Amino acid sequence: MKNDIWNLEGMKVWGTYLNTFPVGGTVTLSRVKYGGGVCHTVQLNSPISVFGAIRERVILEHSDISGVRD
């Protein structure tokens, strides 16, 4: 695992998008947001339909991630 606990780039994660949609995939970008929060861009294992739009990639807040593995 990388030294920076907030940096999950390259790791497999799962969590909840918009407090509704369960998702899983690989983190392609972890970044510190303006104001100090952390968010992650996740390339999904399978596309999801979000209010009629197909998403292959989502941005998750760090707090929305429920599991991580290398």
Q: How far is CA 2 from CA 5, 53, 67, in A?
A: 7, 34, 15
Supply angle C-alpha 48, 51, 55, rounded to 5.
30
* pTM confidence score: 0.90
pLDDT tens-place values along the chain, 70 residues long: 344 689 999 999 999 999 999 999 999 999 999 999 999 999 999 999 999 999 999 999 999 999 999 8
